[in-house]
Every structure is written in structure tokens, then in C-alpha cells.
Amino acid sequence: MGQLEMIASPFRFVGLLAAVLMAFALPAHADRVDWKFYGGADLTMIGRVTCFYEERTITRPKPGIVDVWVKCLSQHDLENVPTTAPYHDAYISMSADRMVHFYRPPILAIERMNYDQTTEVVMDETAADVGDLAIHAQFYYELDCRQRMMRELSMTIENQPAHTPSDWSHIPPEGNAGRLLLLLCR
């Protein structure tokens, strides 16, 4: 082993050790989910929420049909990720890494955003992935891409579940459902 390799070896080990420790610092679900921003709403009891669909668990049970999980988090919580939380460093590091590597959130395929808005979306998606933030609303939607319709297969709002599937309803061209349709039925 040459002198340079002997010097570099401890640094490789420290880097590997840091990566392993960082993996343990992330919440267990961070590596299994990939939440993508698609919209938001003003809820009477909570205020502004930002909503995400989970990309890794999207299913397409039949041609033209898409099943997708959605969750909505408080915008206040997203803007105030506690610096004392164990995942805070991962949140900052992952957000910066995404920006440095020119990550483009899927929403940019259907909407124009400036740099600041894009940065906010990236940070919100990262917080949704690694943060342990309270989920204010969670839905399991089924979209019919051909008919431009959707229904809720499961719904939980403020920890109050409603598991009865809703009837199919038409999706308006604007708003959250319209954006979700555009993003998932391309």
C-alpha cells in the first residue's frame, strides 16, 4: 500500500462511517417513500396544508386506472421543522443535495415556478420524506385517467378514518385533483 493510499484509507473509513451513521439518523420510512408535491388547500381547523402524492407506491391495476396515496401536512409545520429533531440534519442535507444535483420536482412539468418556489417545493418534499410531521389528511385515491374521474378508496382526516369508498366524481380541469390527474396520467 502506497503512502497516499494509507493516508486516504482513514478518510474513506470516516466517510463510510458517517454515511452509516446518517442512515441510522433518518427515520425508518425515509428510504421507502418518495413524496411529491402537487397542491395545497386551506382547511378550516388547521389552516394551510400542502399535499403530496407518494410516487413509489403508485399502482396501475388496469389500463387507465391509477391508485395513489396522498397526504397533507400543515404548511406551518413544513416551514418550522424543529432544529432539535433527529432528522433535521438529514432534511437540510438532502434538500441541499437535491438542489445541487438539479433535481426537478414533477410539478414543474405542468406548472411554472421561479427558483424560490422550486426551492420551497424541494424542501417541502424532503420534509415530507424524512420529517416526522403530523399528517392532517391522508387519502388513497383511484383515478380513471380516460374518464377524468376519481374516487376516495380510503380517507383519514385528523385521525378520523372513513374507509367507505366514495362514488366516482368528475375531475375539474383546475385545482388539486386536476394537477394530480395531469401528473399521474401522462
Per-residue pLDDT tens digits for 59-113: 999 999 999 999 999 999 998 887 776 778 888 888 999 999 999 999 999 999 9
pTM of the predicted structure, to 2 decimals: 0.80
Cα–Cα distance for residue pair 70/6, rounded to 1 Å? 50
Contact 3, 17 (CB under 8 A): no
Query: Does the pLDDT at position 13 exceed 50?
Result: no
* Residue 90, Cβ density class (10 Å: 0-12 exposed, 13-18 middle, ≥19 buried): buried
Tell me if 42 sits within 8 A of 48, measured CB to CB: yes
Under DSSP, the state recorded for 111 is S
Pairwise pLDDT comparison (132 vs 50), residue with the higher score: 50
Q: How far is CA 155 from the centre of its chain?
A: 18
Residue 172 host element (H or E)? none
pLDDT of residue 30: 52
Q: Please tell me the predicted confidence (pLDDT) of residue 158.
A: 85
DSSP annotation of 80: T
Q: Please report, for the chain, the start and end positions of each structural domain, with discontinuous segments joined by +.
A: 1-28, 35-184
Q: Rounded CA gap, 50 and 125, in Å? A: 10
Which of 81, 90, 36 has its CA nearest to residue 58? 36
SS3 92: helix
Query: Residue 82: which of 127, 122, 21, 25 has the closest Cα?
Result: 127
- Please say if the pLDDT value at position 169 is more than 90: yes
β-sheet bridge partners, residue 140 = 69, 154
**Maximum average pLDDT range among 14-18, 152-156, 180-184:** 180-184
Among residues of the chain, what percentage have pLDDT more than 90?
62
